[in-house]
Amino acid sequence: MSLQGKVALVTGAASGIGEQVARQLAQDGTAVVIADLNMRNAQAVADSIGAQGGKALAVSMDVTSEDAVNAGVEAAVNAFGSIDVLVSNAGIQIVNPIEDYAFADWKKMLAIHLDGAFLTTRAAIRHMYASGKGGAIIYMGSVHSHEASKLKSAYVTAKHGLLGLARVVAKEGGPHGVRANVVCPGFVRTPLVDKQIPEQARALGISEAEVVRNVMLKETVDGEFTTAADVARTVAFLAGFGSAALTGQSVVVSHGWSMQ
C-alpha cells in the first residue's frame, strides 16, 4: 500500500511522537487527521502541515470517550472520504510504586492506553472493512510492551496489552486486508518523558542525570535517546507496507534496549 492519497488518523498528534508521525505521513502524501484532547495544539499542527502543502484536519477527541471517538472518526471520513491508516498513539505516564499507586490513576492509565486503542480500532476498522480496501493499524507500544521497569505497573500492563490487541486485530482483520502492528520505542525526549525525569529522581532517590544515564538509557547500545523522527519513519514504513507479510508484529525502535 503506497501512502500517497491515503487518509490517516493519528491520536495524540498534537505533541511529541504523534505530531512527528502526522508530519511524516503528510510528507509521504497522506491526508492526516490530528486527533487530540488538546485542540489548540492540534489545530496548530494541522495549520503547519497545511502551510507546508499537506492536507490536515484537527479534531477534538478524548480517546476514552466512545462518543468522541466515533464522532472524530466520522468527521475524518466526512472530510477525506475514507480512513486507511489508524495510529493509536495517545498516551500519558503516571509513575509510582505499586503500594502507593492510586486506583484512579490505574484506571485512567488503562482507559487512555487500552480503551483508547479499542475504541479507535473499532470505529476505524468498520470503515476499513466497508471500503473493501482494508488498511493499516499501528499501536504505539513501548519497550515496556516487552520489558518491565519499577514504578510503572499500569504503563507496563497497558503496553503489554497492546500486543494482544494487535494480534487479535491482525487475525480478524487479515481476511479484510487490515494489518495491525505495534511500534515499541525506547525513551524519546517528549513532554511525557521530560515530566518523568524529576519524578523518577524523587521516587528513586537519585539525581536527574542518573535517571537519564542509569535508568532510561542504561540498556541502549550507545547511550542515545531514540528520536520522534526514528519512530515516525518506522510507523510510515509499517503503514505503507504492501502485504500481510508484516502483521501481528511488534518492532522495537530503541538503540538496542530489549532485543527481540
Catalytic residues: 155
Q: Give the cell for residue 227.
A: 528520536
Cβ nearer to ligand NAD, comparing 134 with 166: 166
Instruction: Name the minimum Å distance from CB 207 to ligand NAD.
Output: 19
Cβ nearer to ligand NAD, comparing 44 with 193: 193
Q: Rounded distance, CA 57 to CA 72, Å?
A: 10
Cβ nearer to ligand NAD, comparing 185 with 240: 185
- Residues with Cβ within 8 Å of residue 51, at least 6 apart in sequence: none
> What backbone phi and psi angles, to 5 degrees, belong to 23?
-65, -40
- Residues with Cβ within 8 Å of residue 13, at least 6 apart in sequence: 19, 21, 22, 32, 33, 34, 35, 36, 42, 45, 87, 89
Residues that bind ligand NAD (CB under 6 A): 11-12, 14-18, 36-38, 61-64, 89-92, 112, 140, 142, 185, 187-188, 190-193
Cβ nearer to ligand NAD, comparing 38 with 82: 38
Instruction: Name the minimum Å distance from CB 247 to ligand NAD.
Output: 20
Instruction: Name the minimum Å distance from CB 28 to ligand NAD.
Output: 19
Enclosing H/E stretch for 22: helix 16-27
CB atoms within 10 A of CB 145: 24
Instruction: Name the minimum Å distance from CB 142 to ligand NAD.
Output: 4
The cell 497522506 sits on which residue?
30
